[in-house]
Amino acid sequence: MTATHTRTERGTHRAQRERVAALHAELVRSELVTWTSGNVSERVPGEDLFVIKGSGVSYDELTWQGITVCDLDGNPVDGLMKPSSDTDAHAYVYRHKPEVNGQVHTHSPYATAWAARGEEIPCVLTAMADEFGGPIPVGQFALIGDDSIGRAVVATLSGSRSPAVLMQNHGVFTIGPSARAAVKAAVMTEDVARTVHLARQLGEPIPMAAADVDACWNRYQNVYGQ
């Protein structure tokens, strides 16, 4: 549980905080968040710290000062803003998945509709195979306020190639090697959630064969791009 600390603004890690603040605009641009919901966090390279959006901070007013630096127990160490209510969940993921350097949480509408049903999104598109390497799984219901969500994210994604999990009755959590990669995963999650939903209005989507999913995943991860 995040402890209560006197908050001070020393301005440390300013460049990273500016970059993470700017990434939140991608959530708004892609219509993944409403009002002040959702957040982006990123691990501080070489330190047992991460930066995360302040709780309830407006996206229109978000600057680097709206991003708080926390230790890996979720305690704020620099910044005037109380960190996100999801801070303990993010901290748990960073402690238990050292390969993760960025996380995003959204309530994007189509993906959250799948989460409300407690239903994974089946892998029926090459774009899904590319980005997720299979279906987007569902994590068990967990309340906000401690590390319960983080525990469910880690448990659900262990052994999965997906960088995204649909938390039942809640929303989307994504991970990545950077905050930008986690934002991309959140954008792609909403995109495929919408497309697969539309496909189901026309009939049952055709599942992809496991070998084809593997082939798409390997090409996209190892060959695609510059």
Percentage of the chain with pLDDT > 90? 95
Answer for the pair 42, 53: CB distance below 8 angstroms, yes or no.
Answer: no
Share of the chain above pLDDT 70, in %: 97
Q: Looking at the domain assignment, is residue 127 inside a domain?
A: yes
Task: Give the model confidence (pLDDT) of 43-75 as tens digits.
Answer: 999 999 999 999 999 999 999 999 999 999 999
Structural domain contains residue 2: no
Predicted pLDDT at 6: 62
Residue 7 lies in a domain: no
- As a whole number of angstroms, the distance between CA 170 and CA 166 comes to 8
Q: What's the confidence (pLDDT) of residue 4?
A: 52
Domain around 118: 14-222
> Is 79 domain-assigned?
yes
Per-residue model confidence as pLDDT tens digits over 138-195 = 999 999 999 999 999 999 999 999 999 999 999 999 999 999 999 999 999 999 999 9
Evaluate whether residue 202 is within a structural domain: yes
User: What is the total count of domains within the chain?
Assistant: 1
CB 36 within 8 A of CB 56: yes
Residue 6 lies in a domain: no
CATH code for position 118: 3.40.225.10
Q: What are the φ/ψ torsions at residue 213 (nearest 5 degrees)?
A: -60, -45
In a domain, 3, yes or no: no
Say which residues have a Cβ less than 8 Å from residue 142's Cβ, sequence separation at least 6: 148, 149, 151, 152, 167, 170
For residue 4, tell me if it sits in a domain.
no
Is 60 exceeded by the pLDDT of residue 2?
Answer: no
* pTM of this prediction exceeds 0.75: yes
Catalogue the active-site residues: 130, 224
Please state, in angstroms and as integers, the Cα–Cα distance from residue 171 to each residue in 61, 111, 193, 208, following that order. Answer: 24, 7, 12, 25
Q: What is the pLDDT of residue 168?
A: 98
